[in-house]
Amino acid sequence: MTTTPSTRSTGFGRVLIVVYGLLALAATGRSFYQIASEYDAAPFAYTLSALAAVVYIVATIALVKKGDVWYRVAWFTIGFELLGVLVIGTLSIFDPELFTSKTVWSFYGRGYAFVPLVLPIVGMVWLYLRRPRA
Q: Which of 6, 18, 83, 87 binds other proteins (CB under 8 A)?
A: 18
How many Cα neighbours within 13 Å face the side chain of 74? 31
- Segment near other proteins (CB under 8 A), from 26-34, 51-59, 65-73, 91-99? 26-34
How many Cα neighbours within 13 Å face the side chain of 29? 6
Q: Which of residues 87-116 bind other proteins (CB under 8 A)?
A: 113
Q: Does 118 bind other proteins (CB under 8 A)?
A: no
Cα 34–Cα 37–Cα 38 angle in degrees, nearest 5: 70
Q: Is 24 exposed, middle or buried (0-12, 13-18, 19+ CB in 10 A)?
A: buried
Q: How many helices (H) and strands (E) does the chain have?
A: 4, 0
- Segment near other proteins (CB under 8 A), from 7-15, 39-47, 54-62, 90-98? 7-15
Q: Which of 7, 25, 47, 122 binds other proteins (CB under 8 A)?
A: 25
- Going by the DSSP 8-state scheme, the letter that residue 108 receives in this structure is G
Count of residues in contact with other proteins, rule CB under 8 A = 16
CA 58 to chain centre: 9
Residue 67 amino acid letter:
G
Site string for other proteins, 27-56 (x = CB under 8 A): --xx-xx--xx-------------------
Residues that bind other proteins (CB under 8 A): 11-12, 14-15, 18-19, 22, 25-26, 29-30, 32-33, 36-37, 113
